[in-house]
Amino acid sequence: MGNTGNEKEPVIPVSNIEVDSGMYYQVGDDDEDQSSGNSQSECVSLTSSITDYPFEHGRRYHKYAEGQYFLPNDETEQDRLDMHHHIFLKLLYGKLTLAPLDQYPPRRVLDVGCGTGIWALDMAELYPEAEIVGIDLSPIQPNLVLPNCRFEIDDAELEWTYPPNHFDFIHSRMLSSSIRDWVHYMGQIYKHLTPGGHVEIIEHALELGCDDNSYPADCPLSIYMITWKKALDIMGLANMPVKAKEYLEGAGFIDITEEIRHMPVGPWPKDPHLKEIGHWALVNTETSFEAYGLALFTRVLGMSAESARELCLGAQRDCGNRHIHVYLSNFFYLARKPYDINVDHPGGM
């Protein structure tokens, strides 16, 4: 499997994460305030029509297919995405993917919505024989890259111009706020994967988990999550990961598996590995609530930037409250395109 490190992975302890009762917080401790409350894709070159970024309430957004995606693309957001990549590496004990790439070393890999390109670059280093392509709406990837890696500015929701049966692995991570038509998207992934090729879809839950009733229903964090989900619903973006398996099956994939890994928000778990993940996740919240919420709350719900920011700040403060023990579940879906009906279903169907 794609593995960048030597971390040994134990049997995963999921949910009912034990709280470290003796710990204290260094980041954002909030002890006093316990409940504070169908056209064709055209891969484009870098012209001002792509880099002439719009700014809104102090944040920078993508120009190509302007308005389509609600999160910023500025340095602050790029740092957050890179930090999140680090969290994913921790969640997977150093692996880049759960796909069985040791058995099936990839020759052509596509990373859809690649963000800063950090995953694609790690893959290019790990598989120097493979060709890695990353596509995104924003040209926020480095210019100097390994020779087997390239980035394209493109809209993944348009018809892909790659040949059918082309990639042997397609990776799609954290695109639930991006893709509107998942049926079409899964169909494209299926079409452009080689027979036998794998897809990995990774998405966050749309709600936070909590096992010890420490997450009050009326706290700002809870209100943020409800408000965010409402805006996603209005935009038709709230279907993933709820329907991921259905979408994969509908597209024709087989061998579909789902694995859930919980990301504690804050260093509250007793387990040292989860504590470290929780620490990074808490640092990530310093900009994540605003990244996910500011444009959605103002554009879709008509909130003022001031009240949207207030809600984001309240949510962040709750995450720094050591009495609130929440986690975000990450869903990892793996699936395979069948080789041939006779190979995959010997003896007939």
Ligand X SMILES: C[S@@+](CC[C@H](N)C(=O)[O-])C[C@H]1O[C@@H](n2cnc3c(N)ncnc32)[C@H](O)[C@@H]1O
CA-to-CA separations, 280 to 99, 103, 274, in angstroms, rounded? 25, 32, 10
Q: How far is the CB of 36 from ligand X (least distance, A)?
A: 27
End-to-end alpha-carbon separation of the chain, Å? 31
If the CB atoms of residues 114 and 170 are measured against ligand X, the closer one turns out to be 114
Q: How far is the CB of 82 from ligand X (least distance, A)?
A: 8
If the CB atoms of residues 17 and 133 are measured against ligand X, the closer one turns out to be 133
If the CB atoms of residues 41 and 165 are measured against ligand X, the closer one turns out to be 41
If the CB atoms of residues 1 and 158 are measured against ligand X, the closer one turns out to be 158
**CA-based nearest residue to 245, from 334, 156, 143:** 334
Q: Can you tell me the distance from the alpha carbon of 45 to that of 154, in angstroms, rounded to the nearest whole number? A: 10
Q: How far is the CB of 67 from ligand X (least distance, A)?
A: 11
If the CB atoms of residues 119 and 289 are measured against ligand X, the closer one turns out to be 119
If the CB atoms of residues 174 and 260 are measured against ligand X, the closer one turns out to be 174
If the CB atoms of residues 155 and 290 are measured against ligand X, the closer one turns out to be 155
Site residues for ligand X per CB under 6 A: 62, 68-69, 71, 81, 84-85, 113-115, 119, 135-138, 155-157, 173-175, 178
Q: How many CB atoms lie within 10 A of CB 272?
A: 10
What does the block give as tokens for 307? 């009240």
Q: How far is the CB of 274 from ligand X (least distance, A)?
A: 20
Q: How far is the CB of 122 from ligand X (least distance, A)?
A: 11
Q: How far is the CB of 193 from ligand X (least distance, A)?
A: 18
Q: How far is the CB of 143 from ligand X (least distance, A)?
A: 17
Phi, psi (deg, nearest 5) at residue 91: -60, -30
Q: Can you tell me the distance from the alpha carbon of 75 to that of 138, in angstroms, rounded to the nearest whole number? A: 12
Instruction: State which amino acid sits at residue 2.
Output: G
If the CB atoms of residues 35 and 177 are measured against ligand X, the closer one turns out to be 177
Q: Can you tell me the distance from the alpha carbon of 161 to that of 149, in angstroms, rounded to the nearest whole number? A: 18
If the CB atoms of residues 116 and 316 are measured against ligand X, the closer one turns out to be 116
Q: How far is the CB of 200 from ligand X (least distance, A)?
A: 11
Q: How far is the CB of 90 from ligand X (least distance, A)?
A: 14
